[in-house]
Amino acid sequence: MSDGVVFSRLLCELMGFEVDWVKSGYCGAARVCLDQPRNTVLITKILKIGVVVKEWVLGDEIVTSKIVESAVNRLVASTEGDGMRKRAAEMAESVRGSAAEGGVSRMEMESFIAHITR
């Protein structure tokens, strides 16, 4: 399995996460999962909703604009990217439904809070 820096701004936006892309160090391509290589595998290999921008073995090597351009093209101008966006949108909808009033996650959280505040 390949670990790497994941270019998953699309996922963050679809899931409603707010990330300061400039402060993250890449001005448009956040370093997601930099300290969590296993999440890279989850996002790229299992969920298939992101692409590897830089392999971990390359360490502190700078990500060039050509590398970022290639990742962006894979995400927005390919059938592979279409599939990623579709899966991410489906996942986002599922998460929103689960967190909404009456959703499974919401009910579990309310049950937990009720239990610990007795």
Looking at per-residue pLDDT, the higher value among 50 and 28 belongs to 50
d(CA 8, CA 50): 5
Distances (CA, A) of 29 to 12, 24, 32, 78, 108: 11, 8, 9, 18, 34
Range 112-118 average pLDDT: 93
How many other CB atoms sit within 10 Å of the CB of residue 29?
21
pLDDT of the residue at 13: 52
Question: Residue 118 in 3-state DSSP?
Answer: coil
Look up residue 85 and give its two tokens. Answer: 């966006």
Range 24-52 average pLDDT: 68
pLDDT band at 24 (very low <50, low <70, confident <90, very high): very low
